[in-house]
Amino acid sequence: MNILNVPIAEVMTTEVITVKPSQKLVDIKHIFEKRNFHHHIPVAENGKLKGMISLIDFLFAIKNATLNDNENVYHEMLARDVMREHPVTITPDRSLKDVCEILAKGDVHAIVVCDKDYIKGIVSTADIIRYVLNTNAVET
């Protein structure tokens, strides 16, 4: 079996941490600080994808703020203020090769896996590397 033909549903992370568009940046800060994830947070409402916040987007938004939770920016700005609308998405039935071709362009480092705008998972370059290293398809 050619590993590139594997459906991305077998590679993606299915336990996706999301935020709502109305959540404050302090909530997003806490996710970046305390959770083990991709450094990309989908923004969703009722399970439907609305946008994506990368760590870079977050850092750009907070500018020169410290990591103190009391900084004004963390309470004045919302997820919708810093998210990128219309992030790159792919359906669960698409192949690993399809995802690799998108990621290889270098424009994004994570892709949200959606079925009719509903989030099913997320896949990053790290997921792909872990998958390849854990399969028997890699010859030594």
SS (HEC) of the chain: CCHHHCEHHHCCECCCCCECCCCEHHHHHHHHHHCCCCCEEEEEECCEEEEEEEHHHHHHHHCCCCCCCCCCHHHHCEHHHHCECCCCEECCCCEHHHHHHHHHCCCCCEEEEEECCEEEEEEEHHHHHHHHHHCCCCCC
Q: Retrieve residue 131's tokens.
A: 């998958």
pLDDT tens for the chain, residues 1 to 140: 688 999 999 999 999 999 999 999 999 999 998 866 668 999 999 999 999 999 999 999 999 999 999 999 999 999 999 999 999 999 999 999 999 999 999 899 999 999 999 999 999 999 999 899 888 655 54
Q: Retrieve residue 36's tokens.
A: 């083990």
Structural domain boundaries in the chain: 3-134
pLDDT at 62: 95
The superfamily CATH assigns to domain 3-134 is: CBS-domain (3.10.580.10)
Cα 60 from chain centre? 17
What does pTM read for this prediction? 0.87
Q: Retrieve residue 43's tokens.
A: 């923004």
